[in-house]
């Protein structure tokens, strides 16, 4: 998958996508709202089993207690954690449909460097043209199409 000014290209299709409100960053920092430049592996697929069917055979269901740590002081920084959690975090089980399907990238994982940025996902957009906090977002139909055809180790290229 490659992000370009025309959209996200995958398997011969170009789909509109949105990036972070901070543009593309070559030196990503926590809270800058930027999408990190580079080649990012898709390491897992998460989904809301009460709303959607598994988008691929290697998808893992989300639970109500699933969170993602975004606090650089947290020993679990930039990784999945369970509620209750005393550090700052983002809820993955949301009232809106943004995270019904999440493609998790390897951005700043294993080991996570505090402050370098967390939770760079591919997920559903709020609406076309509305930027994210740093993730790559697509129309629900396009995200589902990609997730159904994704193989473990697929890569997202953000030039």
Q: Where are the domains of the chain?
A: 2-63+96-158
pLDDT at 142: 98
Contact 120, 30 (CB under 8 A): no
In whole angstroms, give the CA distance from residue 3 to residue 54: 25
pLDDT < 50 stretches in the chain: none
The per-residue pLDDT for range 5-25, each reduced to its tens digit, is 889 999 999 999 999 999 999
Confidence (pTM): 0.95
pLDDT at 140: 97
Q: Interior CA angle at 139 toward 91 and 70, to 5°?
A: 25
The per-residue pLDDT for range 62-77, each reduced to its tens digit, is 999 999 999 999 999 9
* Topology adopted by domain 2-63+96-158: L,D-transpeptidase catalytic domain-like (2.40.440)
In whole angstroms, give the CA distance from residue 114 to residue 29: 9
pLDDT at 4: 86
pLDDT at 49: 98
- Percentage of the chain with pLDDT > 70? 100
pLDDT at 92: 98
């Amino acid at each position: 998958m490659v992000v370009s000014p025309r959209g996200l290209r995958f398997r011969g299709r170009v789909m509109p996508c949105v990036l972070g409100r901070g543009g593309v960053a070559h030196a990503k920092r926590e809270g800058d709202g930027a999408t990190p430049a580079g080649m990012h592996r898709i390491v897992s697929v998460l989904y809301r089993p009460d709303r959607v069917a598994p988008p691929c055979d290697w998808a893992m269901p989300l639970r109500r207690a699933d969170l993602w740590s975004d606090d650089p002081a947290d020993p679990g920084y930039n990784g999945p954690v369970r509620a209750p959690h005393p550090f700052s975090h983002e809820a993955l089980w949301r009232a809106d449909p943004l995270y019904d399907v999440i493609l998790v990238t390897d951005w700043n994982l294993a080991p996570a460097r505090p402050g370098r940025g967390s939770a760079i996902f591919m997920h559903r957009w709020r609406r076309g043209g509305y930027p994210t906090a740093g993730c790559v977002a697509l129309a629900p139909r396009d995200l589902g199409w990609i997730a159904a055809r994704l193989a473990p180790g697929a890569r997202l290229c953000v030039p």
